[in-house]
C-alpha cells in the first residue's frame, strides 16, 4: 500500500478542483461529498501505512523520487548535471501525521455539511478545505524541501481564503490581511534558510541534507544561520511570540475552518518543518536553546491571555498558541519525541474543542461565555465530548494529553530547571482556563434565559465527529505511550558520522561537492544528551494527582456562580494586569505602532521625494536647463542668426550689384570671365 503514498496529497487536490468547477454554487450541492469521499480514501491509505509500520509489515523510511527538471552547469572546470527530483519520503512521523491530518480533515468536512448548510458559498468552502488538506499532506510526504516550501505557501494561501471566507464583513478582511502579512514575515526567513542550505549542500533532498550534516560538511556558522531562518518561519506559521498576533484573529473564519487551521494543518506546519530539519538544529545549539526559551515564553503569554478572555473561540485560539509553545519548547529541549507526540494528541483534542465550540455557537448564536451557562442540560453529548477534550488538554490520566505533556515536562526537567518550573506553572494555567471555559459554558445556572431555552443538541452530522474525536482524545495517548511505541513513531534524528539509512532507492539527484563547504568536522564534538531521568516521585505523582486537579477545582469554584463574584473581584483587584492581558500584552499595539512609524517614514520619504528630489533636483535641473536654453536661444537669434542673415544679405547685395555690372548679355564676355577664373585657379594650384 505504501507505493501509493504519492496519491495521498493528489486525491484531495483533484476533489477540490471538481468541487470548485463542477457546478454552480448551491447551498445544497452534493459536490462536497466528493471531498469527503476523497479524504476518506486518503485516510484508508494512511491508516494502512501506519498499521503496516506498527505491525512490522512495512519498513520505514520509504523514499521514492522522480526527475522534476535538470540543469547542466560547470564548476571548477568539471561539468555536472543538476537533477532536481520530486517525490515522497515516508518516515514514522510522516506516517502518523498522514493519519492524523486525514482523520481530522474528514471529521471537519462531515461536520461542515451540517454547520455550513445554509451558507451561500457552501460549495466553495469545501473546495478550500480539500485544497488546504492537500497542501498539508504534501508538506508531510515531500522528500524535497523546495516542493515542501511550495506546499507551505499553498497552505498560507488557503488559510487566507478560509479566514476571510465571509469577506463581505470587515472583521474577516482585516484578519486575513493580518494573517497574510505576519506569516509572510516568517516565510521570508524560511525561504532564505532553504537557499542557504542549498548553497552549502547543492541539494534540496531531505535525506541528502541529513547526510551532509551527519558528515560535518556544513560549517557551524552556516548551520546556525539556517536554523534561525527555519525558526523564523516556524514562528510565523506556528504563531510563536511575537508573531502570534494573527492566530486569535483567525477566528473570524467559519468554525470548522478554524478547527482545521488550529488542529492538524496550518499551525502544525511550523512544528513539522522544525522536526523535518531537526538535524540542522542539532548542529546549532544556540538555535536549539533559543527555540526552547521561545516556546516557553509563547506558552506562558498565550495561557495568560486565555485566563481573561470571554470569547469561547478566542480562549481556544490562545490555548492553541500556548500548546504550540509547549511543542516548540520540547523540541528546543531535545525532546523530539515529546514534541511530536504532543502535536499528535493535540490535533485530536483541539479539533474536538473547536468543533464542540462550534456546536455550542450553533445552538446559542453567541461566542460570549458570559451569555451561556447550564448548557449541559440542553446539550449533553456536546458537553460530554468537550469534557473529554478539557481533561485531555489539562493532562488528566488516562486522557491523551496526560502522556504527551508529561513527556514534555520530563524533557524540560532534563534540559534546564529554569525552563521546567515556568512550564509546569503554564500547564496548571492550562487546566485552570480550560475548566473555566467548561464551567462558564455548561455548568451552573443559565445566564441568558432566551438563549438557553432555544438551545438544543446539534444534529448527528455534528455530534458523530465529536464522538470520534473524543475517542481518540481518550485513547491516543495510551496507545502511543504503550510499550515504547512513541519512540518508534517519533525517533529523534541522529547527528553522527553515519549517514541515515534509507529503505528505498536513493534519490536520483546527482549532487556535486558543495561550493564553499566546510571541511569535515569532528563529529565527536557534537554533544549527545545525557540519559533522561524521570521526574522526582513527588512531582511525577503530584502533578496529575494534586496540582492539575487543584487548578481545575479552583476554576470551578471561582466561576460556578451566576455572576462569579470571586473571579470578578480578583479581576478588579488586578485591573492593570487584566488590562495588559485583555490588550494581548500590547503586541497588537506594538505592531500597529510599528506600522504607524513605517507610515510616517513613508510619508517623510514622499515629502523628501516631492519637495527635495523632485522640486530641487529634478524640477530645479529642468528650470536651469530651460534658462540656459533661453540664453542660448537669445544668443542664437541675436548674434548667430543675425550674422548669418547679414552675410547672406551682403552676398545677395554684392551679387545683385555685380550682376548689374557684368550681366550685359554678351556670351563672349562670360566666356572670358570663365577663362580668367580658370586661369587663376590653375595658377594657384600649380604654384603651391
Q: Say which DSSP state 156 is in.
A: H
For 305-318, give the secondary structure using H, E and C: HHCCCCEHHHHHHH
Percent of the chain scored above 90 by pLDDT? 52
For range 123-138, the mean pLDDT: 93
Report pLDDT digits (tens) over 197-221. Answer: 999 998 899 999 999 999 999 999 9
pLDDT of residue 524: 32
d(CA 289, CA 529): 13
- Tell me the helix, strand and coil percentages in the chain, rounded to 5: 75, 5, 20
Least confident of 232-236, 492-496, 548-552, 621-625: 492-496
d(CA 366, CA 451): 9
Residue 401 pLDDT greater than 60, yes or no: yes
Q: How far is CA 82 from CA 79, 192, 502, in A?
A: 10, 20, 21
Q: How many residues does the chain have?
A: 688
- Is the separation of the CB atoms in 409 and 535 below 8 Å? yes
Q: Which residue has the cell 548551520?
A: 223
d(CA 579, CA 307): 12
pLDDT of residue 638: 81
Q: How far is CA 644 from CA 285, 629, 633, 635, 652, in A?
A: 85, 20, 15, 13, 12
* Other Cβ atoms within 10 Å of 461 Cβ, number: 14
pLDDT of residue 532: 62
Reported as a pLDDT band with limits 50, 70 and 90, residue 521 is: very low
Task: Phi first, then psi: give them for residue 141, nearest 5 degrees.
Answer: -95, -15
> What does the block give as the cell for 206?
531531505
Residue 579 pLDDT greater than 50, yes or no: yes
Element (H, E) at 606: helix 587-608
Query: Which is nearest to 165 in space by CA: 120, 210, 107, 201?
Result: 120
Start-to-end CA distance of the chain, whole Å, equals 106
Least confident of 511-525, 528-542, 575-589: 511-525
Report pLDDT digits (tens) over 406-418. Answer: 999 999 999 999 9
- pTM above 0.85? no
Query: Which is nearest to 290 in space by CA: 350, 338, 348, 229?
Result: 229
* Other Cβ atoms within 10 Å of 171 Cβ, number: 14
Residue 109 pLDDT greater than 50, yes or no: yes
For range 391-420, the mean pLDDT: 94
- The residues facing 592 across adjacent strands are none
Residue 496 pLDDT greater than 80, yes or no: no
Residue 672 pLDDT greater than 50, yes or no: yes
For range 457-484, the mean pLDDT: 93
pLDDT of residue 288: 95
Residue 98 pLDDT greater than 90, yes or no: yes
Report pLDDT digits (tens) over 80-91. Answer: 777 888 999 999
Count how many Cα atoms sit within 13 Å of the Cα of residue 223 in the half-sphere of its side chain: 27
Report pLDDT digits (tens) over 44-86. Answer: 999 999 999 999 888 999 999 998 888 787 767 778 777 888 9
- The residues facing 73 across adjacent strands are 80
Using DSSP, state whether 144 is helix, strand or coil. Answer: strand
Element (H, E) at 74: strand 62-75
pLDDT of residue 680: 85
Distance of CA 429 to the CA centre of its chain: 27
Reported as a pLDDT band with limits 50, 70 and 90, residue 663 is: low
Q: What Rg do the C-alpha atoms of the chain give, in angstroms?
A: 37
Element (H, E) at 75: strand 62-75
Maximum distance among all alpha carbons in the chain?
142
- Is the separation of the CB atoms in 282 and 288 below 8 Å? yes
Report pLDDT digits (tens) over 228-282. Answer: 999 999 999 998 988 888 888 888 888 888 888 888 788 889 999 999 999 999 9
> What does the block give as the cell for 402?
496526560
Residue 518 pLDDT greater than 60, yes or no: no
- Is the separation of the CB atoms in 324 and 271 below 8 Å? yes
Element (H, E) at 66: strand 62-75
> What does the block give as the cell for 651?
552676398
Element (H, E) at 78: strand 78-90
pLDDT of residue 662: 59
Task: Phi first, then psi: give them for residue 276, nearest 5 degrees.
Answer: -65, -35
Q: How far is CA 354 from CA 196, 362, 500, in A?
A: 39, 12, 39
Q: How far is CA 283 from CA 119, 295, 493, 532, in A?
A: 50, 19, 12, 20
Residue 313 pLDDT greater than 80, yes or no: yes
Residue 616 pLDDT greater than 90, yes or no: no
Determine the number of helices (DSSP H) and then strands (DSSP E) in the chain.
29, 2
Using DSSP, state whether 674 is helix, strand or coil. Answer: helix
For range 317-340, the mean pLDDT: 94
- Is the separation of the CB atoms in 375 and 448 below 8 Å? no
Residue 520 pLDDT greater than 70, yes or no: no
Residue 516 pLDDT greater than 50, yes or no: no
Reported as a pLDDT band with limits 50, 70 and 90, residue 664 is: low
pLDDT of residue 103: 95
pLDDT of residue 470: 96
17 vs 497, residue with greater confidence: 17
For range 333-352, the mean pLDDT: 94
Provide DSSP, 402-414.
Answer: HHHHHHHHHHHHH
Task: Phi first, then psi: give them for residue 515, nearest 5 degrees.
Answer: -75, 125
Query: Which is nearest to 481 in space by CA: 406, 414, 424?
Result: 406
- Is the separation of the CB atoms in 214 and 282 below 8 Å? no
Reported as a pLDDT band with limits 50, 70 and 90, residue 35 is: very high
d(CA 469, CA 516): 50
Residues 6 or more apart from 272 whose CB is under 8 A from it? Answer: 97, 139, 140, 343
Whether the link from the prior residue into 398 is cis, omega within 30° of 0, is: yes
pLDDT of residue 504: 38
254 vs 529, residue with greater confidence: 254
Q: Say which DSSP state 368 is in.
A: B
* Other Cβ atoms within 10 Å of 128 Cβ, number: 26
Using DSSP, state whether 205 is helix, strand or coil. Answer: strand
Percent of the chain scored above 70 by pLDDT? 93
d(CA 600, CA 592): 12
Using DSSP, state whether 73 is helix, strand or coil. Answer: strand
Amino acid at each position: 500500500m505504501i507505493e501509493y503514498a504519492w496519491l495521498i496529497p493528489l486525491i484531495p487536490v483533484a476533489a477540490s478542483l471538481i468541487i470548485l468547477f463542477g457546478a454552480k454554487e448551491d447551498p445544497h450541492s452534493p459536490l462536497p461529498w466528493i471531498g469527503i469521499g476523497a479524504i476518506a480514501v486518503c485516510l484508508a491509505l494512511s491508516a494502512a501505512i501506519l498499521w503496516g509500520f506498527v505491525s512490522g509489515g512495512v519498513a520505514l523510511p520509504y523514499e521514492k523520487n522522480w526527475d522534476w527538471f535538470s540543469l547542466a552547469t560547470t564548476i571548477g572546470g568539471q561539468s555536472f548535471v543538476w537533477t532536481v527530483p520530486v517525490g515522497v519520503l515516508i518516515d514514522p512521523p510522516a506516517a502518523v501525521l498522514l493519519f492524523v491530518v486525514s482523520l481530522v480533515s474528514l471529521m471537519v468536512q462531515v461536520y461542515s455539511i451540517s454547520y455550513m448548510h445554509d451558507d451561500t458559498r457552501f460549495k466553495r468552502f469545501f473546495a478550500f478545505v480539500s485544497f488546504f488538506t492537500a497542501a498539508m499532506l504534501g508538506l508531510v510526504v515531500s522528500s524535497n524541501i523546495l516542493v515542501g516550501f511550495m506546499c507551505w505557501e499553498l497552505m498560507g494561501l488557503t488559510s487566507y481564503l478560509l479566514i476571510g471566507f465571509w469577506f463581505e464583513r470587515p472583521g474577516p478582511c482585516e484578519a486575513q490581511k493580518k494573517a497574510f502579512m505576519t506569516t509572510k514575515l516568517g516565510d521570508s526567513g524560511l525561504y532564505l534558510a532553504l537557499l542557504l542550505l542549498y548553497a552549502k549542500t547543492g541539494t534540496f533532498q531531505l535525506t541528502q541534507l541529513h547526510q551532509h550534516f551527519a558528515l560535518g560538511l556544513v560549517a557551524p556558522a552556516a548551520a546556525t544561520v539556517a536554523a534561525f531562518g527555519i525558526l523564523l518561519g516556524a514562528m510565523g506559521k506556528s504563531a510563536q511570540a511575537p508573531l502570534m498576533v494573527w492566530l486569535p484573529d483567525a477566528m473570524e473564519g467559519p468554525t470548522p475552518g478554524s478547527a482545521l487551521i488550529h488542529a492538524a494543518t496550518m499551525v502544525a506546519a511550523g512544528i513539522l518543518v522544525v522536526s523535518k530539519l531537526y538535524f540542522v538544529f542539532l548542529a546549532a545549539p544556540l538555535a536549539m536553546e533559543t527555540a526552547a526559551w521561545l516556546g516557553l515564553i509563547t506558552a506562558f503569554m498565550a495561557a495568560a491571555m486565555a485566563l481573561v478572555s470571554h470569547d469561547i473561540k478566542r480562549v481556544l485560539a490562545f490555548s492553541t498558541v500556548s500548546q504550540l509553545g509547549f511543542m516548540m519548547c520540547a523540541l528546543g529541549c531535545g525532546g523530539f519525541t515529546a514534541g511530536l507526540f504532543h502535536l499528535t494528541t493535540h490535533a485530536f483534542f483541539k479539533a474536538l474543542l473547536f468543533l464542540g465550540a462550534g456546536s455550542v455557537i450553533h445552538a446559542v448564536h453567541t461566542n460570549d461565555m458570559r451569555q451561556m451557562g447550564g448548557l449541559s442540560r440542553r446539550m449533553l453529548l456536546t458537553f460530554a465530548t468537550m469534557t473529554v477534550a478539557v481533561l485531555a488538554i489539562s493532562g488528566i490520566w488516562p486522557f491523551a494529553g496526560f502522556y504527551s505533556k508529561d513527556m514534555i515536562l520530563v524533557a524540560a526537567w532534563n534540559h534546564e530547571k529554569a525552563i521546567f518550573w515556568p512550564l509546569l506553572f503554564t500547564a496548571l494555567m492550562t487546566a485552570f482556563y480550560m475548566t473555566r471555559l467548561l464551567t462558564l459554558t455548561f455548568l451552573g445556572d443559565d445566564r441568558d434565559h432566551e438563549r438557553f431555552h432555544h438551545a438544543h443538541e446539534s444534529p448527528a452530522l455534528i455530534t458523530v465527529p465529536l464522538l470520534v474525536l473524543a475517542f481518540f482524545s481518550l485513547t491516543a495517548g495510551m496507545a502511543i505511550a504503550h510499550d515504547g511505541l512513541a519512540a518508534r513513531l517519533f525517533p529523534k534524528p541522529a547527528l553522527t558520522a553515519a549517514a541515515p539509512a534509507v529503505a528505498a532507492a536513493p534519490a536520483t539527484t546527482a549532487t556535486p561537492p558543495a561550493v564553499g563547504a566546510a571541511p569535515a568536522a569532528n563529529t565527536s564534538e557534537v554533544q549527545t544528551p545525557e540519559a533522561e531521568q524521570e521526574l522526582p516521585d513527588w512531582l511525577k505523582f503530584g502533578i496529575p494527582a494534586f496540582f492539575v486537579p487543584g487548578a481545575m477545582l479552583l476554576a470551578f469554584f471561582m466561576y460556578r456562580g451566576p455572576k462569579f463574584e470571586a473571579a470578578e473581584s480578583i479581576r478588579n483587584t488586578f485591573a492593570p494586569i487584566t488590562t495588559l492581558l485583555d490588550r494581548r500584552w500590547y503586541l497588537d499595539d506594538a505592531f500597529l505602532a510599528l506600522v504607524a512609524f513605517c507610515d510616517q517614514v513613508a510619508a517623510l520619504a514622499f515629502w523628501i521625494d516631492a519637495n527635495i528630489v523632485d522640486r530641487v533636483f529634478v524640477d530645479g535641473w529642468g528650470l536651469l536647463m530651460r534658462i540656459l536654453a533661453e540664453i542660448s536661444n537669445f544668443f542664437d537669434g541675436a548674434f548667430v542668426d543675425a550674422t548669418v542673415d547679414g552675410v547672406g544679405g551682403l552676398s545677395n547685395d554684392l551679387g545683385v550689384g555685380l550682376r548689374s555690372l557684368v550681366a550685359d548679355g554678351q556670351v563672349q564676355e562670360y566666356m572670358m570671365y570663365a577663362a580668367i577664373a580658370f586661369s587663376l585657379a590653375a595658377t594657384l594650384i600649380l604654384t603651391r
